[in-house]
Amino acid sequence: MRIHIKITRLLLTMLLVGVFTPGAAVSAKEQAPATAAPGANPISTHNNFTYRMLQKIVLGAAEKTPEGNYGFKPRETVRSFGQIVGHMADAQYTFCSVARREKNPRLNIEGTKATKADLIAALKDAFSYCDKAYVGMTDASAAETVKFGGADAPILGVLTMNQVHTTEHYGNLVTYMRMIDLVPPTSDPEFMKSLGR
């Protein structure tokens, strides 16, 4: 359990500091909802921005990996590449349904989708579901509490954990991609340039 907490802290640090540089704050303002006044809601606006970047990176990995490698797993006791993509999609509903104060639809994407096209479509739908939680959040509503894991948690905390979880499993995808001789999105200068990094 302690190792899992340390890994989660490391991933969160990478997400907030390593991957998204201080210049991201400027881009976050440019992508703020049209209804937000300039400089309003800097915390929730930046959180939305980092989530959007993470979406593009994860989708980049899913789209770059050939269909034939979606069943790849380094050993039988772990998820395949496709199962990880499905798990990440399922998790978007798990976290964001809490943040949106809705019932989790529990689609079981990991257990019911297998093709690249179906998994990418499901992942996009899951991200769209979460978009409403991030876009609708203000700095004030970010501090509101919801029940999460049997305890009260701020909405911002739930959505941050969603990003930590997604980043954790993006790390799995990176390892799998390296094992099949693919360059992951965050190591591809052209891909990162397309994101303005």
Classify the phi-psi angles of 104: left when phi > 0, otherwise alpha if psi is within -120 to 50, otherwise beta.
Answer: beta
Please give the pLDDT value at position 38: 53
Q: At what angle do helices 2-13 and 155-179 cross, to 10 degrees?
A: 90
Given the structure tokens 């190792």, which residue do they identify? 3
Please give the mean pLDDT across all residues of the chain. 86
Please tell me the total count of domains within the chain.
Answer: 1
51 pLDDT more than 80: yes
CATH number, residue 17:
1.20.120.450
- Alpha-carbon distance of 155 to 148, in angstroms, equals 9
Q: Residues 88-127: pLDDT tens digits? A: 999 999 999 999 999 999 999 999 999 999 999 999 999 9
pTM of the entire structure?
0.81
For residues 72 and 180, the answer to whether their CB atoms sit within 8 Å is yes
- pLDDT higher than threshold 60 for residue 136: yes
Do residues 88 and 123 make contact, with C-beta atoms less than 8 angstroms apart? yes
Residue in 67, 76, 69 with CA at minimum distance from that of residue 179 = 69
- Percent of residues, the chain, with pLDDT higher than 70: 81
Q: Looking at 25-34, 80-89, 159-168, which range is the least confident one?
A: 25-34
pLDDT at residue 148 is higher than 80: yes
Domain of 133 in residue numbering reads as 2-31+39-194
pLDDT number for residue 150: 93
